[in-house]
Amino acid sequence: MRSPLNRRYSREFKKNAGRYICTFLLLVITIIIGSGFLCVMESVKYSLDEYLIANKVEDGYFETAFPIVDNIKSMLEEEDIVLCDNFYSTVEEFDGDTKIFVFDERKEMNIPALFEGKLPADDNEIAVDRLFAENHDINVGDSLELNNIKFTVSGTVSLPDYSSLFMNNQDLVMNTTGFGVSMVSREGFDKFDESTVTYRYSYRHKARNLSDKEKIEAANRIQKILIGNGVNVQDFLIAKNNQSISFLPNDMGKDGPVMEVLIYILVVIIAFVFAVLSAHTIEKEAPIIGTLRSMGYKKRELVLHYITLPVIVTILASVVGNALGYTVMIEPFKRIYYNTYCLPPLTLQFNWAAFVKTTVIPIVIMIAVNLVLLINKLSLSPLRFLRKDLNKRKQKRAAKLPDFKFINRFRIRVILQNKGSYLVLFFGIFLSSFLLMFGIGLKPLMDYYVDTIDDTLPYEYQYILKGPVEAEGGEKVLIYSLETEYYLTGNNVEVTFYGIQEDSEIFTDFTIPTEENHIVVSDSFAKKLKVDVGDEIIFEDTVYEKKYTLVVDEICPYTNNLGAYMSIEDLCKLLDKDAGTFNCYVSQEKLDIDDAYIAKFMNRSDFLGAAKQMMISFGSVIAIINVFSVFAYLVLMYLLTKIVIDKNSLYISFMKVFGYEKKEIRRLYLDASAIVVLVSLLICLPLEAYLIKMVLIYISSLIEGYMDFYLPASVYLQIVVIGAVAYFAINALHLQKVKRIPMNEALKNRE
């Protein structure tokens, strides 16, 4: 026989439709974001892994000043590698300050994946990176003029060695607008002037099961062969250290735990909201529950009754959330990745782990939280329910309050009586405000980073040379890379050493150390590695297997890289190089240097463009975070402040009977909630700022550079204003609720 209690479900839902609809929507949005994001993330990860294997991504590359001869190639191939020419021509000023690397045809290694059109076959055809083409409105069939040579776009592709568009390996972030890659046929590449060509050679180990240590050892042997045979090596990178290859595989999946934690926190908060709502319902219906218990209904039956609606709402929200997450949200989340990375075509995969994380676990959490509370509440005797005596902890006397005015003491009583609801409200405000602060604060943070680089970058132009050449107007610099251990991860990070002239007119922000083995480090270096003046740092040259212990003399304000500075004479001596050795010019004006001697050329916009790209890449993410956090904020605040009104409806009714006006009732009850909300907003601000600091430290541990914490006062003000405006909008709804509380409520509930 069906339980008579089942007839109460529809009435209960109609009576509290607002709370159930709000929590349903909050759960749906939480699961939509979780399921959609995790599905796309896992699918992208799967597609990328398959792509790198099938398209034979390189294990490393090196660039030389001039082509290497066949006998050196033969010596290198004895290291059990496949060696391929991977030459490219640099187009310096395409569509403004944009640079393009035009690669020679690829068939054996770093094979492109085709998106649209076809690969170049004729000498006048070119295939352009899909992301670069989208950002510059380039379509198949368009004509491009590169280095005074006309090409027709035959197709759009992605290159496995450029899944992330880093023009320079030490860039903090990618640069998908100011840098791009493309590919032409062998005949088409022959059209480029030799002065624009960079001689890059990619290699791939024949043995595919080498450890990272074995790959590094093989790379060291390759470098020694090259240098030992007089080859001028301009650049050497193994795939593990090449951000264009390794950044995305290393980054894939790291957003997942953050999203999962966010989902679980929100579900727990929603579960507590349901629990508080259920507890309120039990308190309100205590006489009915006491009557039912007296009539023989078991505690198990009542627990099942009161948990049914929350579970039904949760299951429905999970079904709707997953249905929408795997359909309408796939494309927006796909665009987040495909607007940022140069990925192959996506193969969508249904992910059971994501389904469990976004659906099964939330349902389990919801049931567990509600069960614990309901079992605890319904363990009282029927007599106590009949008497509405539901407090397990007896408070013999009210807490003594200071001698405030009546209205202030009354507000304090309201807050103390509803402290459980207000505590949940505090956590809801903290979470949604944190999301909002992160979304609002990211743009000024990036603007600050760009401005800081712009203010502290000491030169306008940098020329990395293929070989020594004299030039007027610039300062000679010796640039060399060493590695040091990063305390957070235990892995090595690359540090760029600058040997500069003692009479430098460019590097004027610090004093060049005069003592041997003393250095000046950049501000970014000092903050990321937590070093101070006087600290000793151990650096390692992995090529020559040498270690150096150097002392920090000073910290200079530069933020564009992880840099260490010393005189060019001391750096030559440290590295056992001939006195006067240099490989770079820096200057405030363009120099007259033959292009044949320039390996890389960078100007101020190249350094700044990468940072500006981050805002473009994450613009859609910021929008989603902001919209979601505001919605979560409104729903949580509405539900939890509504509980306070509902719990005090009897007393509000009494006050109406006693002649209190609507304005006075608002001051007593609604203003108490307003005080809690505003105090919570202010208390949460430093906690949220600290959490963002921790997030930035975590982000810095994943990248080569360092991003310092910065939030202007306007961000804090926006959080408070948005929170206050949201609350007072909700407060207006509660005023309507107060108006509808009848005076006969007091007469019906006389004790």
Q: Which tens digit of pLDDT belongs to each residue from 294-309? A: 888 888 888 888 888 8
* Alpha-carbon gap, residue 652 to 742, rounded angstroms: 9
Q: Tell me the residue ranges of DSSP E strands in 306-361.
A: none
What is the per-residue pLDDT for 117? 92
Question: Is the pLDDT assigned to residue 83 strictly greater than 90?
Answer: yes
DSSP H helices in 252-298:
255-284, 286-294
Which residues lie across from 129 on neighbouring strands? Answer: 157
What is the per-residue DSSP string for 346-371? P-----HHHHIIIIIHHHHHHHHHHH
Helix pair angle (406-417, 671-702), 10° resolution? 50
Burial class (CB in 10 A: 0-12, 13-18, 19+), 167: buried
pLDDT digits (tens, 9 = 90+) for 88-146: 998 887 877 788 999 999 989 999 999 999 999 999 999 999 999 998 899 999 999 88
Long-range CB contacts for residues 250-259, cutoff 8 Å, separation at least 24: 250/702, 251/702, 252/41, 252/44, 252/45, 252/48, 253/41, 253/45, 254/702, 255/37, 255/41, 256/38, 256/41, 256/42, 259/33, 259/34, 259/37, 259/38, 259/41
- As a whole number, mean pLDDT of residues 543-554 equals 88
pLDDT digits (tens, 9 = 90+) for 711-749: 888 889 988 888 888 877 877 776 676 666 666 655 555
* Alpha-carbon gap, residue 507 to 528, rounded angstroms: 22
Contact 730, 661 (CB under 8 A): no
Higher pLDDT, 751 or 367: 367
* Alpha-carbon gap, residue 141 to 119, rounded angstroms: 12
What is the per-residue DSSP string for 220-261? HHHHHHHHHTT--EEEEEEGGG-HHHHHHHHHTTTHHHHHHH
- Joined tokens for residue 162: 């450029």
What is the per-residue pLDDT for 57? 94
SS3 content of the chain, % helix, strand, coil (to 5): 55, 15, 30
* Alpha-carbon gap, residue 107 to 675, rounded angstroms: 68
What is the per-residue pLDDT for 648? 66
What is the per-residue pLDDT for 243? 83
Percent of the chain topping pLDDT 90: 23
> Rounded to an integer, what is the distance from CA 630 to the centroid of its chain?
19
Considering only 31-40, 442-451, 557-566, which range has the smallest mean pLDDT? Answer: 442-451
pTM greater than 0.85 (yes/no):
no
What is the per-residue pLDDT for 356? 82
What is the per-residue pLDDT for 570? 93
pLDDT digits (tens, 9 = 90+) for 626-661: 777 777 777 777 776 776 666 666 667 777 777 777
Question: Is the pLDDT assigned to residue 618 strictly greater than 60?
Answer: no
Pairing status of strand 179-184 against strand 98-103: parallel
